[in-house]
Amino acid sequence: MSAAPSRPEPFAPRASSAELSDLRTRLHATRWPDAPEDAGWSLGTDLSFLRELVAYWADGFNWPAQEARLARLPRFRVGLRGLGIHFVHARAVAPAGPVLPLLLGHGWPDSFWRYTKVIPLLADPGAHGADPADAFDVVVPDMPGYGYSDRPRGAPLDSIAVAGLWAELMSVLGYDRFGAAGGDIGSHVSRYLGLDHPDRVVAVHRTDAGVPIHTGDPADLTPEERAWLADGAAWAVAEGAYAAMHRSKPQTAAFGLTDSPAGLAAWIVEKLRAWSDCDGEVERRFTHDEILTNVMIYWLTGTIGSSMRMYRANSLIPLAQHARRVEVPSGFALFPRDLLRPPRAWLERTANVVRVTEPPRGGHFAAFEEPELYAAELREFFRPYRAAGAVGAVAAAD
């Protein structure tokens, strides 16, 4: 990837024919593992599903068409602290009132891809049956080591460092104050934006409260909070092997996942299925094209290893940081099929809660699974904070 500019410049990557030819060769040469009869998804990614997905990837999937679709988003790159940062910057269309800048934070295993469906709904609500007064200037960056942002050359950045980087990005774009929202690691980053930059962030919206970490006496917790902590521990045993690998030995897994496109797809698609509101049938939420677009971003940028290493960085964050309370107005949308849904008492213990909703559908990838519900949630939550956050933006990324 070319050196990052000091000011935002338009960015529209194109995969070369050599990259696509190499990928197709690798897909055709996949060496398949065996699987117990009728194992299905019980031991991880289903063999028959992945065979079908890989066959389509090799001979039916049209990456140039998906690349052109992604290029319709206003995408840029800029240099920050020695790293090239890729981001979408979609300005409000025909706003009918104050425009609030809104930064959206993604998680793993994704990138700006998580928000591709919701960006138009937020930047141009009038074109989607909503009030034009709710238009946002939407900023969606790829975290360092994810997507089209550079990989840190040394130690991976943790969520605290990324929050600081995003505050700097918003300054570069001319935004003094803004809203922050996110899920998964993006929720973690949004939390630290509220904690460390309260003069900049008007409000924080999150779709989860992260992995439960309590540093005090469990007796001080409500029964619901103690049950939630126990649920978190049980989930870690049953479903958390991937995170243990990411925290402890990410480089070992990175060799195979960087070399094998089928292996990379298996690692990602199992999470798309397990964490979404799909009743065990991933096709109910994600088409083959949608799955493969997410996977292709990882494949072409070679970022699966660097994305996993962020888990290690976050595991080293001092416990005292987890005990801090967010005083910036905070809202939560707890989608029914997300991983761990915290009780209200925990939310109020850890944040200045002004709104909690429980949408009727959706899972961990709510912005992609239910873009209309997610967009409506953000419009309603941030509406009272528009005047406080509305500012002009420089034309650096026009």
Question: What is the C-alpha separation between 209 and 338, in angstroms, rounded?
Answer: 11
DSSP-based three-state secondary structure for 397:
coil
Mean pLDDT over the full length of the chain: 95
Selecting among 311, 338, 374, 385, the annotated active-site residue is 311
Q: Is 20 contained in some domain? A: no
DSSP, res 118: T
Q: Is 12 contained in some domain? A: no
Categorise residue 342: left if φ over 0, alpha if ψ from -120 to 50, beta otherwise.
beta
Mean predicted confidence (pLDDT) in 286-307: 98
Query: What is the distance of C-alpha 113 from the center of its chain?
Result: 8
| Residue 252 lies in domain | 43-389
Q: Is 247 contained in some domain? A: yes
Selecting among 46, 124, 137, 184, the annotated active-site residue is 184
CB distance 332 to 357 below 8 Å:
yes
Cis geometry, peptide bond prior to residue 109 (ω within 30 degrees of 0): yes
Q: Is 397 contained in some domain? A: no
214 confidence band (pLDDT: 50, 70, 90): confident
CATH code at 321? 3.40.50.1820
Query: pTM score, two decimals?
Result: 0.95
Structure confidence by residue, pLDDT tens digits, 310-340: 999 999 999 999 999 999 999 999 999 999 8
**Cα–Cα nearest to 191, from 158, 216, 217, 220:** 158
Structure confidence by residue, pLDDT tens digits, 342-389: 999 999 999 999 999 999 999 999 999 999 999 999 999 999 999 887
SS3 for 155-179, per residue? CCCCHHHHHHHHHHHHHHCCCCCEE
Neighbours of 100 (CB within 10 A): 30
**Cα–Cα nearest to 189, from 67, 298, 106:** 106
Q: Which residues contact 44 (CB under 8 A, 6 or more apart)?
A: 266, 270
Q: Is 8 contained in some domain? A: no
Query: What is the distance of C-alpha 208 from the center of its chain?
Result: 12
Q: Which residues contact 187 (CB under 8 A, 6 or more apart)?
A: 105, 107, 206, 207, 208, 209, 210
215 confidence band (pLDDT: 50, 70, 90): confident
Question: What is the C-alpha separation between 160 and 188, in angstroms, rounded?
Answer: 8
Question: What is the C-alpha separation between 25 and 256, in angstroms, rounded?
Answer: 16
Question: What is the C-alpha separation between 253 and 259, in angstroms, rounded?
Answer: 10
Catalytic-residue membership of 184: yes
Structure confidence by residue, pLDDT tens digits, 107-156: 999 999 999 999 999 999 999 999 999 999 999 999 999 999 999 999 99
Question: What is the C-alpha separation between 186 and 183, in angstroms, rounded?
Answer: 5
pLDDT at residue 213 is higher than 90:
no
212 confidence band (pLDDT: 50, 70, 90): confident
223 confidence band (pLDDT: 50, 70, 90): very high
**Residue 201 φ/ψ, nearest 5 degrees:** -100, 120
Predicted pLDDT of residue 315? 95
Q: Which residues contact 53 (CB under 8 A, 6 or more apart)?
A: 265, 269, 288, 291, 292
Q: Is 146 contained in some domain? A: yes
pLDDT at residue 11 is higher than 80:
yes
Q: Which residues contact 154 (CB under 8 A, 6 or more apart)?
A: none
395 confidence band (pLDDT: 50, 70, 90): very low
Rg (C-alpha) for the chain, rounded Å, is: 20
Q: Is 178 contained in some domain? A: yes
Count: domains in the chain: 1
Instruction: Name the least confident of 208-217, 259-268, 282-291.
Output: 208-217
Selecting among 89, 338, 364, 374, the annotated active-site residue is 364
Token pair recorded at residue 298: 């990882």
Q: Is 142 contained in some domain? A: yes
Instruction: Name the least confident of 85-89, 239-243, 316-320, 384-388.
Output: 384-388
Catalytic-residue membership of 28: no
